């Protein structure tokens, strides 16, 4: 049953009609628990609150898989506005972007030019931008674009997904760039040809690549809600004399807020991923796929 629900949510996340309808009708079904509103003003207020609770943030203007240059330009403008708003409001937040929202499926040139504009603006403000990792078909293009950008910019990072067999090699290659990497388990539906089908293997590989990346001396965004990972990584960090300035914990808005607060109060950097905007459906479906138990929450909201 759980596998069936997971597959259904993962497929719905990419369903064009459902995504279009969701945009039209606004935040529904309890998505507000995971999405900080449909406007930048709401998102800034959410980050202010997190900052007051000793946490930092990364804002994400929701959107993915755009197919027209106009939509990619619009998404780019929204990213620029987000960077402006971060600067003007003085909140402590950086920016996280999905390359398919910035035109990756239209063409490399279009996407590179949009990302360059965003990185230049961020650089002007002394801010940082993370290029997220999407489904497997975009993995190599994302890493290629990251490397191109890294030649010019210091304020850019990317993401590696532990469920992919290739992740260990990618972490080794990224050492050459002294890359700032967010490490995640992986959120998309991938075939066994490219990704570990068993969760146990994903969990083991996740710990392995976090340790590798830290031992290489590189900055790690340890992005998980998994207590077991936190409990195993903290002693490892102490044992190897890794300082708190070489890593941060990252969690999603509305998920494991107890753990977020606990780690922040213990003095660790906790960065919360704060998504906002009208294109919330795909993101919301992936959160339900990770934890089908959350479906009761959707059902409850259906009848409100
Ligand atoms: P796991 O799924 O094993 O869950 C461990 C525990 O966490 C669960 O038992 C539960 O308590 C809690 N939990 C997890 N998900 C939950 C949910 N949705 N609702 C409620 N509780 C939940 N992926 C990707 O492919 N590309 C990316 O760029 C990113 N970016 C990213 C940024 C940040 C800040 C985070 C935290 C995650 C991502 N991800 C991602 C998603 C990631 O790949 C993964 O799908 C989720 O983090 C879930 O895996 P966990 O590591 O939390 O562990």
Domain boundaries in the chain? Answer: 36-279
* CA–CA dist 204, 229 (Å, integer): 10
Q: Which of residues 160 and 16 earns the better pLDDT score? A: 160
Q: 285 CA to middle of ligand 1, Å?
A: 13
Q: 69 CA to middle of ligand 1, Å?
A: 31
Residue 304 scores a pLDDT above 60: no
* CA–CA dist 59, 272 (Å, integer): 8
Query: Where does ligand 1 bind, in terms of residues with CB under 6 Å?
Result: 132-133, 159, 161, 182, 184-188, 223-226, 250-252, 255-256, 273, 287, 290-291, 294
Q: Which of residues 298 and 51 earns the better pLDDT score? A: 51
- pLDDT given for residue 136 in this prediction: 98
For the chain, what is the mean pLDDT?
A: 93
Let me know: does 96 contact 273? Beta carbons within 8 Å.
Answer: yes
pLDDT, tens digit, 9 for 90 and up, residues 58-111: 999 998 889 999 999 999 999 999 999 999 999 999 999 999 999 999 999 999
The position carrying tokens 């597959």 is 7
Percentage with pLDDT > 70 across the chain: 96
Let me know: does 57 contact 93? Beta carbons within 8 Å.
Answer: yes
From the CA of 272, give the closest atom in ligand 1: 34
Q: 187 CA to middle of ligand 1, Å?
A: 7
Q: Which of residues 187 and 293 earns the better pLDDT score? A: 187
* CA–CA dist 95, 153 (Å, integer): 15
- pLDDT given for residue 286 in this prediction: 85
* CA–CA dist 234, 54 (Å, integer): 19
Which residues face 156 on adjacent strands?
129
Q: Which CATH number is 36-279 given?
A: 3.20.20.220
Residue located nearest, by CA, to atom 26 of ligand 1:
133
pLDDT, tens digit, 9 for 90 and up, residues 222-246: 999 999 999 999 999 999 999 999 9
The position carrying tokens 């959707």 is 298
**Residue of 75, 72, 74, 73 whose CA lies nearest to 95:** 75
Q: 225 CA to middle of ligand 1, Å?
A: 6
Q: 5 CA to middle of ligand 1, Å?
A: 16
Residue 56 scores a pLDDT above 70: yes
- The mean pLDDT value for 110-126 works out to 98
Output the pTM of the full model. Answer: 0.94
Residue 250 scores a pLDDT above 60: yes
């Amino acid at each position: 049953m759980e596998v069936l629900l997971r597959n259904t949510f993962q497929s719905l996340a990419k369903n064009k009609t459902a995504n279009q309808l969701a945009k039209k009708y606004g935040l529904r079904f309890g998505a507000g628990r995971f999405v900080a509103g449909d406007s930048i003003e709401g998102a800034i207020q959410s980050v202010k609150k997190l900052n007051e609770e000793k946490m930092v943030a990364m804002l994400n203007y929701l959107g993915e898989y755009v197919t027209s240059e106009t939509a990619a330009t619009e998404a780019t403008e929204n990213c620029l506005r987000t960077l402006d708003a971060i600067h003007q409001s003085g909140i402590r937040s950086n920016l996280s972007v999905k390359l398919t929202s910035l035109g990756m499926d239209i063409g490399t040139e279009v996407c590179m030019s949009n990302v360059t504009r965003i990185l230049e603006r961020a650089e002007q403000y002394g801010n940082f931008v993370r290029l997220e990792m999407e489904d497997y078909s975009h993995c190599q293009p994302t890493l290629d674009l990251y490397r191109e950008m890294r030649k010019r910019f210091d304020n850019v990072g990317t993401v590696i997904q532990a469920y992919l067999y290739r992740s260990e090699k990618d972490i080794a290659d990224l050492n050459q760039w002294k890359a700032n990497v967010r490490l995640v388990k992986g959120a998309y539906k991938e075939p066994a040809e490219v990704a570990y089908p068993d969760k146990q293997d994903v969990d083991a590989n996740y710990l392995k690549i976090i340790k590798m990346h830290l031992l290489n001396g590189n900055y790690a965004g340890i992005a998980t809600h998994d207590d077991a990972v936190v409990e195993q990584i903290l002693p490892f960090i102490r044992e190897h004399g890794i300082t708190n300035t070489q890593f941060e914990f990252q969690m999603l808005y509305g998920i494991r807020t107890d753990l977020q607060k606990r780690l922040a109060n213990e003095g660790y950097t906790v960065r919360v991923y704060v998504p906002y905007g009208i294109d919330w459906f795909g993101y919301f479906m992936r959160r339900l796929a990770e934890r089908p138990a959350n479906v009761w929450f959707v059902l409850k909201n259906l009848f409100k």
